[in-house]
């Protein structure tokens, strides 16, 4: 091993963070293909609905305080694939329209570091209606440095003090992806825990994801007095760790806290944070903590120190809420850094109903059990979970074959519920970079239920969306739909198209004879 293959860094300045940035900037939206970077747990309609309900509660609270003219800005940090933001906005508009009450106007601003992502969102077909209504805007935002927002659609810049309404900040899987400090607590003293990076041979030729996996990280401690200085902004929580912890490695979100403080300056009325991550808010989970291990998924992630964030903002007069139950997959918190958090009753009630009572973590735990057991589920169980998940497209794709197998014994009411669910799912479907032919699955299920007009709509959508040559069987199903609907000319046309692609298609030949 040569000396150049091993280097020592302060943890927040280690090359892993630059590699993380490069990974996302290079791939853009392709980072979520094949779940290289997992997105379902924080992007499904269920968690989006929970957030929309809390935001709706917040808008009601502002209306109760007489603030119905100024626009409320909802700022999503690290919006990634864009699916979560779309679902939140879709549900929030649905709640607003259903309630029919006077609320403050709002705008949703999606941000991320890679410019490729910002461009992709602004061009996505699902986003266009919200852009046209002035409800959606975008910005590139660097959590480490930026202190203002340059909006893409409106061309406006939001600077410190510009917002009169409180800022709503949404940050899912965000704080674990930006630089963190690593400290070590031992014998009542605070140490900086430096990382020693051992590079593989020919590391300059490796892509970021491969280089991250092949690096070897070890840690060494050194005394760092700055954490114990009275003017250190987070001295209170550090002093608490000195009293409560021993032989513990602590990931400390100094960059994340500084980012929230800069965002807080944008508004004269404070902020609310909704955040979900693989993070711990209980001090006992940081006791005797070992050095962190990077969790790889194309990029990498770490555990977020929600305890530090909760401690800091509690001491500044905020009301912070995390689940009382122990989470398994994802921890969802709410921080109200506002003048008087206690008057936000609708906000707090929505958190209790949609996070504390039964929330995204419980839902995902059920989903993990259901995934390998779909073939043993009955129709009512499938419909119930699909409804619970907000008519999620991914679950429908996953269960379409099982639904098809159960159709011969399905009741009329169940088939009507399937039809209704398909339309609800389609109305809130967000196409990812890695496309899947949802319309085809929906059309075939409707076809099997003899709902020919509905099947025709989705099967035509499938053909128009799919860039590949149509499948003869799909063309034949379209022909049957048209035949049953009395559209003989269209039926004959689809039949002939199917036979051009597959001259020996028996069913299509039989249908052609009927016309002849």
182-194: pLDDT as tens digits: 999 999 999 999 9
Give Cα 140 to chain centroid, integer Å.
Answer: 17
Structural domains in the chain plus CATH codes? 22-178+256-358 (3.40.50.150), 365-514 (1.25.40.10)
pLDDT at residue 299, rounded to an integer: 83
* Spatial distance between the Cα atoms of 220 and 194, rounded to a whole number of angstroms: 5
CA angle 343, 346, 347 (to 5 degrees): 85
Tokens of 369: 């059990």
What is the average per-residue pLDDT within 319-339? 96
Helix (H, G, I), strand (E, B) or coil at 280: strand
350 has a pLDDT exceeding 90:
yes
Q: pLDDT band at residue 2, thresholds of 50, 70 and 90?
A: very low
Q: Which residues contact 358 (CB under 8 A, 6 or more apart)?
A: none
* Spatial distance between the Cα atoms of 210 and 203, rounded to a whole number of angstroms: 9
Contact 135, 94 (CB under 8 A): no
Q: Which residues of 342-358 are buried (b: 16+ CB within 10 A; e: fewer)?
A: eebebbbebbeebbbee
pLDDT at residue 3, rounded to an integer: 46
Q: pLDDT band at residue 1, thresholds of 50, 70 and 90?
A: very low
Q: How many CB atoms lie within 10 A of CB 216?
A: 11
Helix (H, G, I), strand (E, B) or coil at 23: helix
Q: pLDDT band at residue 206, thresholds of 50, 70 and 90?
A: confident
CA separation (Å) from 192 to 79, 223, 286, 321, 325? 31, 6, 16, 30, 32
Q: Is the pTM of this model over 0.75?
A: yes
What is the average per-residue pLDDT within 344-362? 97
Whole-number average pLDDT of the chain: 93
230 has a pLDDT exceeding 70:
yes
Q: Are strands 136-140 and 149-150 parallel, antiparallel or unpaired?
A: unpaired
Question: How do residues 376-412 score in pLDDT, each as one tens digit?
Answer: 999 999 999 999 999 999 999 999 999 999 999 999 9
pLDDT at residue 214, rounded to an integer: 87
Task: Find the range with the poorest average confidence among 344-348, 350-354, 504-508.
Answer: 504-508
* Spatial distance between the Cα atoms of 292 and 305, rounded to a whole number of angstroms: 12
What is the average per-residue pLDDT within 115-142? 96
Give 154-162's long-range contacts (Cβ < 8 A, gap of 24+).
Answer: 158/73, 158/266, 159/266, 160/265, 160/266, 161/265, 161/266, 161/267, 161/268, 162/266, 162/267
Q: pLDDT band at residue 143, thresholds of 50, 70 and 90?
A: very high
What is the average per-residue pLDDT within 408-437? 93
Question: How do residues 207-223 score in pLDDT, each as one tens digit?
Answer: 888 888 888 999 999 99
pLDDT at residue 34, rounded to an integer: 64
Cα distance from N-terminal residue to C-terminal residue, the chain: 80
pLDDT at residue 4, rounded to an integer: 54
Question: How do residues 445-503 score in pLDDT, each as one tens digit?
Answer: 999 999 999 999 999 999 988 777 788 999 999 999 999 999 999 999 999 999 999 99
Q: pLDDT band at residue 67, thresholds of 50, 70 and 90?
A: confident
* Torsion 32-13-312-268 (CA) sign: negative
Q: How many CB atoms lie within 10 A of CB 418?
A: 23
Helix (H, G, I), strand (E, B) or coil at 8: strand
What percent of the chain is predicted at pLDDT more than 70? Answer: 98
Tokens of 349: 């009630």
């Amino acid at each position: 091993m040569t000396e150049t293959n091993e280097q020592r860094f302060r943890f927040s300045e280690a090359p892993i963070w630059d590699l993380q940035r490069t990974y996302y900037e290079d791939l853009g939206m392709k980072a979520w293909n094949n779940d290289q970077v997992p997105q379902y747990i924080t992007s499904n309609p269920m968690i989006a609905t929970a957030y929309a309900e809390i935001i709706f509660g917040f808008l009601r609270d502002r209306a109760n305080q007489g603030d119905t003219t100024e626009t409320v800005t909802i700022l999503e940090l690290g919006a990634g694939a864009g699916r979560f933001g779309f679902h939140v906005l879709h549900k929030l508009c649905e709640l607003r329209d259903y309630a029919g009450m006077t609320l403050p106007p709002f705008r949703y601003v999606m941000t991320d570091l890679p410019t490729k992502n910002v461009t992709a969102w602004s061009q996505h077909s699902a986003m266009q209606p919200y852009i046209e209504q002035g409800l959606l805007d975008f910005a590139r935002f660097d959590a480490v440095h930026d202190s203002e927002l340059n909006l893409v659609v409106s061309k406006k810049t939001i600077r410190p003090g510009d917002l009169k309404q409180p800022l709503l900040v949404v940050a899912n899987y965000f704080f674990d992806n930006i630089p963190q400090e690593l400290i070590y607590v031992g014998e009542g003293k605070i140490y900086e825990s430096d990382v020693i990076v051992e590079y593989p041979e020919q590391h300059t030729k490796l892509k970021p994801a491969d280089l991250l996996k092949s690096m070897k990280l070890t840690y060494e401690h050194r005394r760092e007095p700055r954490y114990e200085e009275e003017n250190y902004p987070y001295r209170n929580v550090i002093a608490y760790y000195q009293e409560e912890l021993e032989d513990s490695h602590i990931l400390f979100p100094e960059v994340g806290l500084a980012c929230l403080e800069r965002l807080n300056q944008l508004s004269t009325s404070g902020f609310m944070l909704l955040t979900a991550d693989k993070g711990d808010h209980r001090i006992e989970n940081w006791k005797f903590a070992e050095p962190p291990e990077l969790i790889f998924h194309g990029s990498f992630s770490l555990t977020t120190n929600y305890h530090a964030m909760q401690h800091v903002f509690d001491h500044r007069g905020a009301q912070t809420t995390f689940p009382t139950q122990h989470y398994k997959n994802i921890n969802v918190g709410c921080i109200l850094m506002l003048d008087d958090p206690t008057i936000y009753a609708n906000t707090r009630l929505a958190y209790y109903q949609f996070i504390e009572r039964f929330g995204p973590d419980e839902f995902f735990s059920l989903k993990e059990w259901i995934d390998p057991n779909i073939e043993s589920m009955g129709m009512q169980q499938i419909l119930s979970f699909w409804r619970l998940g907000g008519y999620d497209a991914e679950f429908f794709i996953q269960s379409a074959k099982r639904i098809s197998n159960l159709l011969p014994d399905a009741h009329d009411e169940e088939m009507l519920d399937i039809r209704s669910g398909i339309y609800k799912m389609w109305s809130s479907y967000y196409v990812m970079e890695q496309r899947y032919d949802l319309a085809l699955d929906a059309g075939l299920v409707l076809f099997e239920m003899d709902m020919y007009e509905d099947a025709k709509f989705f099967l035509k959508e499938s053909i128009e969306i799919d860039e590949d040559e149509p499948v003869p069987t799909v063309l034949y199903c379209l022909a049957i739909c048209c035949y049953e609907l009395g559209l003989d000319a269209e039926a004959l046309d689809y039949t002939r198209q199917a036979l051009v692609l597959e001259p020996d298609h028996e069913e299509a030949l039989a249908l052609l004879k009927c016309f002849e």
